[in-house]
Amino acid sequence: MEKNQLDVQDPTPGADSLARQRDVMKTIIDNFPGAISLCDTDLRLSAHNDQFMALLDFPPELFAKGWAHLQDLARFNAERGEYGPGDPEQQVKTIVERTTNVQAHCMERQRPNGQWLEVRGMPIPSGGFVTSYMDITERKHAQQYEQLRSEVLELLAKGDALSTILSALVRGVERIHARMWCSIRLSDGEGRTLTKPFAPSLPDFYNEATELIEIGAPVSCCAAAAATGQRVVAQDLDGDPTWAGQRELARRAGLGACWSQPICSASGRVLGTFAIYHRAARAPTPSDLELMAQTARLAGIAIERNAAITSLRDGEAHYRLLTEDVSDVIWRTDHDNRFVYISPADERMRGYRADEVLGHHVFEMFTEDGVAVIMEKMSERRESELQGVLTGLITFEAQHRCKDDRVLWVEVFSTPERDASGAITGFHGINRDITKRKQLEDQIRQLAFYDPLTQLPNRRLLGDRLNQALVATGRGVSFGALMVLDLDRFKLLNDTLGHAYGDLLLIEVSRRLAGAVRQTDTVARFGGDEFVVLLGDLSGGRAESRDQAATIAEKIRSALAEPYRLNQVDPAGLAQLVEHHCSASIGVALFGPGVLGQDDVFRAADTAMYQAKAAGRNTVRFDDDAR
């Protein structure tokens, strides 16, 4: 047998053997890491170690005989409340009955002072039993605190109010440490005062009297801890200078000690304080200091998380204020160009609800022409990105579809969103309805380039198109022709029937002119009864082009010579139908390579037109007829 093994069954009988067994047993008992006791068959505690007396707080008088009866120990415990509420004698009876047939067991018991014990019992084969007691208070508190931490974090995850979370934290610590009173105070944000505490166990009058505490004032540990950012411990409030201003109040509240830990943010800013109070003077143990630090950290997480959520909510409300009440549509898309956000303005503008847009591709918002514009812009951006040029905001105009089949012109402002590597992860931007602006631009363009009565191009637009035609014919061998038309005896109609009938005649003339030429040709009105026709890209050489122009001119002359039926409503509401006969004198100038400019062409055509009038009207003349 090895030396550190025990052999209590010494085969050698006698006094020496019994003495040795007693020495071995005493050594084991005295050096056991916890409390231990031996109870014999008569339920007498015949042996125990010093830890037994200290751990269970038994007075020496109970062992005046050198031993104590289990019944007396149980009665002592029952009378001081160790077993909780109930009749002490009944509790003693229950314990004694339970020990008459002891089985191996292990249990945990919390004493009234908050101490946790692990109690193990083991029967002795020859009778009686051995009981060991281990102080597991710190282990138990660690388990309970971990559970409390999980509960607080769950409240955080659920988004409960900060007051609910901090109250749960304070009550949880007090539930674990029954003899502690706790409080949490918050800083006002400016570092001037601490607010009313979350302290459910402190007297109401004390909480009301200390609703606001000036940080740094000599009134409490919390004021000092918030001012210094360091833990402040007052072991005895009666003589501690930090409590000079509230010493009497602390006495009335029954406070003997206070330890305060600052609650700090991740950056070190003081957010508030966590304090532990005791009814009697007391210094904190290392485990108490660790408890304060852990709780302050947990409270700091809750306070910062609440501040972040509040800031986010305020930011969202501000964002909604900025985005949802404006007329412009604000949107965001993901990497696949599908909408992840669109403001309510889109429903007001196009009629689609947000749920009808979110998740859908941006192409669904545009007409076919609009999609073509977007694809062109996407291609341009892609080319730039491939060349290493990071593109930013782009602006373009495109037509949008509406729910009621209307089409709107929209100006789009699009900005890419990028990750840390610069890759595009999505886009955000603004859509602005510019339909009215486009309509106004069209109106301005119409007024600038078109005759308001006949809607035909005016002198300015014709001059631009004639210039383009001259440039085109000057580069090759093709020809064009310019016709100047003057209505015969138009003034007589105006003078006899009035300008209303004259306007009707001009409108009908413009319609007939447009129907007599090709779609690539231009019919313009210069004012009054003078019209101009521009024929471009005539086929063949000069002779063939002249013949083609002559054919079109004759077609025009014939169309304009047909009778006109002009229907006008008089002021009395009666329709007045007038049949009128009119013709036109047409002058034609052919142009091609070598022609000097617009003025030369106009002059030649105008001269030919006067030749047609001189020839008796209702006829066609070319500028070279007199050559």
Question: What is the DSSP track for 368-420?
Answer: HHHHHHHHHHHHHHHHHHHTT-----EEEEEEEE-TTS-EEEEEEEEEEEE-T
* Residue range 135-194, pLDDT digits in tens: 888 888 888 888 888 888 888 878 788 888 899 999 999 988 888 999 999 998 778 899
Write out the two tokens for 457: 């191009």
Q: What percent of the chain has pLDDT over 90?
A: 33
Q: 99 vs 39, 40, 58, 103, CA distance in Å? A: 10, 11, 20, 8
**pLDDT exceeds cutoff 70 at 14:** no
Write out the two tokens for 61: 């008088």
- Give the mean pLDDT of 255-278: 92
**How does residue 324 score in pLDDT terms, banded at 50, 70 and 90?**
low
Distance CA 198, CA 182 (A): 8
Give the orientation angle of helix 88-99 with respect to helix 70-79, to 10 degrees.
150
* Residue range 77-88, pLDDT digits in tens: 888 888 888 898
SS3 labels along 85-97: CCCHHHHHHHHHH
Higher pLDDT, 597 or 225: 225
User: Phi, psi at residue 423, to the nearest 5°?
Assistant: -70, 145
CB atoms near residue 592 (< 10 Å): 18
* CB-count burial class (<10 Å; 0-12, 13-18, 19+) for 127: exposed
**pLDDT exceeds cutoff 60 at 422:** yes
**pLDDT exceeds cutoff 90 at 448:** no
**pLDDT exceeds cutoff 70 at 6:** no
Paired residues of 483 in beta bridges: 533, 588
- Give the mean pLDDT of 373-395: 88
- Give the mean pLDDT of 101-113: 85
Higher pLDDT, 556 or 305: 556
Instruction: Look over the chain and give the mean of its residue pLDDT values, rounded to a whole number.
Output: 85
- Give the mean pLDDT of 605-614: 92
The length of the chain, given as a count of residues:
627
Distance CA 595, CA 591 (A): 6
Q: What percent of the chain has pLDDT over 70?
A: 92
Structure confidence at residue 18 (pLDDT): 65
**How does residue 10 score in pLDDT terms, banded at 50, 70 and 90?**
very low
Check if the beta carbon of residue 479 is closer than 8 Å to that of residue 542: yes
DSSP 33: S
Distance CA 372, CA 398 (A): 9
* Residue range 272-300, pLDDT digits in tens: 999 999 999 999 999 899 999 999 999 98
DSSP-derived 3-state class of residue 522: strand
- Give the mean pLDDT of 361-375: 91
The reply to whether the predicted model has a pTM over 0.75 is no
**pLDDT exceeds cutoff 80 at 616:** yes
- Give the mean pLDDT of 74-101: 87
Identify the residue whose tokens are 């002198």.
459
Q: Which of 583, 535, 578 is nearest to 562 (CA)?
A: 583
Count CA atoms closer than 13 A to 501's CA, side-chain side: 22
Distance CA 534, CA 465 (A): 8
**How does residue 259 score in pLDDT terms, banded at 50, 70 and 90?**
very high
**How does residue 372 score in pLDDT terms, banded at 50, 70 and 90?**
very high
DSSP-derived 3-state class of residue 487: strand
DSSP readout, 96-155?
Answer: HHHHTT---EEEEEE-TTS-EEEEEEEE-TTS-EEEEEEE-HHHHHHHHHHHHHHHHHHH
**How does residue 8 score in pLDDT terms, banded at 50, 70 and 90?**
very low
Q: Computed from CA positions of residues 595, 599, 605, 610, in that sequence, does the dihedral angle turn out positive or negative?
A: negative
Structure confidence at residue 543 (pLDDT): 87
Structure confidence at residue 315 (pLDDT): 57
Q: Rounded to an integer, what is the distance from CA 215 to the centroid of its chain?
A: 37
Structure confidence at residue 420 (pLDDT): 83
- Give the mean pLDDT of 381-401: 88
Q: Which of 241, 152, 163 is nearest to 197 (CA)?
A: 163
Higher pLDDT, 24 or 250: 250
Structure confidence at residue 3 (pLDDT): 34
Using left for φ > 0, alpha for ψ between -120 and 50, and beta otherwise, residue 212 falls in beta
Structure confidence at residue 96 (pLDDT): 86
Distance CA 11, CA 13 (A): 6
**pLDDT exceeds cutoff 80 at 565:** yes
**pLDDT exceeds cutoff 80 at 594:** no
Q: 191 vs 162, 198, 215, CA distance in Å? A: 19, 18, 7
Structure confidence at residue 468 (pLDDT): 87
